[in-house]
Chains A and B, each alone.
Chain A
Amino acid sequence: MSDKIEKHRDGMIIKDKNSTAKMEVEINEVKTEGDYKKCPVYIYHDWCKKCGICVEFCPTGALASKPDGSPYVKAPEKCIHCELCDRLCPDFAITGAKR
């Protein structure tokens, strides 16, 4: 994984070594709970404003909030890939990975 993907942007497009996409910016750090297989939803914490909408409207309860209000993937196996958190996030801070 680390060979192929140099810069891993949590919540956004992941930069591939061979990618020619020009719209990408560099964001170095990634902090998600578990790796991609375990984590169907990427949360980009730099843009998150902790409004709580994603946690509230997650239909299966896969997301939960930490004591400071920031969301994390609590139960990745519950995720049904509906992408509602992705659509309802006002800050473009969540990417729902497709199955």
Chain B
Amino acid sequence: MKIPQKRVHKFLRHGKKFPHVWCPGCSNGIVLGAIIRAVDELGYEKDDMAMVSGIGCSSRMPVYVDFNTLHTLHGRALAYATGVKMVKPEMNVCVVTGDGDSTAIGGNHLIHAARRNIDLTVIVINNNIYGMTGGQYSPTTPTGDFATTTPYGNIDPVFDICKLAEGAGATFVARTTAYHVVEAQSIIKQAFEHKGFSIVEIVSACPVIYGKLNKKGDAPAMMRDMKERAIPVKAFEKLTPEQVGNKYSRGILVNIKKPEYTAEYTKLMDSLQPQKGDK
């Protein structure tokens, strides 16, 4: 008889921390599953991985995985991750962050990490709201939508995380959704393999706060919404502005090569070492 083995559980601290704290239907668990499957596929050891996060629902993720984990200040995950990567350039450093954590509170860290092109993998779980701190509106809350701090509707325009990262100089930018979980797994895998700053935005569902305040329905309804609105990049480029509406593209948006920061740093350090014959 074949025994079903769930390889995901190899990487989870399932004896201690489960069931997890996320609300019913929250996409964070799906994204965590995709990350673990990608890591498992790449054959990384637990000790080769470092997962760094700030504060937030999504940033609770390192608590549940059995990698080297670092749970840091709100918005400052990238600063800590830069330090980890500089000290241990051979380590695969993954930063898990939310939309508010990365674009509002840690906005400057995001653009400067992207500018330096340091070899980090940043996974931004975009649920359109600050979930853990009580449902405040975030830079990615769509205009007109409700949050606990915008009871009459949000008037702020929206941040496009992928365009921001691309403009700041990130060399691997991709967007996917929690519904397209197989695609998410393959994109995360490519992001890990990419040498340089790679950012993956994963559109996710917050049915308990954002969904309830905006009458988006339950978790399956929000995931169906993702299925309809996320269009593959090539198909998205062909759409006319009228057809675009509230749709967004999914897939790999940018994949280029640039000198990587830790490699350049090592080169510089080597060139400054005293050579033979120097006094």
Give, as a whole number of angstroms, the nearest-CB distance from B13 to chain A. 9
On whether the beta carbons of B25 and A23 are closer than 8 Å, the reply is no
Which chain B residues in 179-194 approach chain A with CB under 8 Å? 179, 181-182, 185
Min CB distance A43 to B, Å, is 12
Instruction: Please provide the chain B residues from 1 to 37 with a CB less than 8 Å away from any CB of chain A in the complex.
Output: 1-6, 8-10, 12, 14-15, 18-20, 22-30, 33-34, 37
A53 touches B181 (CB 8 A): no
- B3:A98 contact, CB within 8 angstroms: no
B contacts with A: majority SS: loop
**Which A69-99 residues have a C-beta within 8 angstroms of B?**
84, 86-92, 95-98
Contact B15 A25 (CB under 8 A): yes
B219 within 8 A of partner (CB):
yes
- Interface assignment of A30: CB less than 8 Å from any CB of chain B: no
Residue of A nearest to B221 (CB): A56
| Contact partner, A87, options B10, B18, B30, Cβ 8 Å | B30
Question: B218 near A: Cβ within 8 Å?
Answer: yes
Closest to A14 in B: B3
Find out whether the CB atom of B10 lies under 8 angstroms from the CB atom of A53.
no
- What is the number of residues of chain A that contact chain B, defined by CB distance less than 8 Å? 33
How distant is B127 from chain A, measured CB to nearest CB, in Å? Answer: 12
- Bound together, the chains give a CA A11 to CA B19 distance in angstroms of 13
For the complex, is B232 an interface residue (Cβ under 8 Å from A)?
Answer: no
- Check: B161 CB closer than 8 A to any chain A CB: no
Query: Does more than half of chain A's interface fall in helix, strand or loop, or is it mixed?
Result: loop
Q: State the Cβ distance, A11 to closest chain B Cβ, in Å.
A: 8
A46 contacts chain B at the CB level, 8 A cutoff: yes
Shortest beta-carbon distance, B220 to chain A, in Å? 4
> Contacts A52-B218, A87-B30: A13 and B6 contacting too (C-beta < 8 A)?
yes
17 contacts between A and B (CB under 8 A): A12-B14, A13-B6, A46-B19, A49-B23, A51-B24, A51-B218, A51-B219, A52-B220, A53-B25, A56-B220, A87-B34, A88-B223, A90-B28, A91-B22, A91-B29, A92-B12, A98-B4
Report the separation of the CA atoms of residues A36 and B22 in the bound assembly, to the nearest whole angstrom: 30
CB contact between A89 and one of B14, B29, B223 (< 8 Å): that residue = B29
Residues on B with C-beta less than 8 A from A91 are 19-20, 22, 29
A87 touches B6 (CB 8 A): no
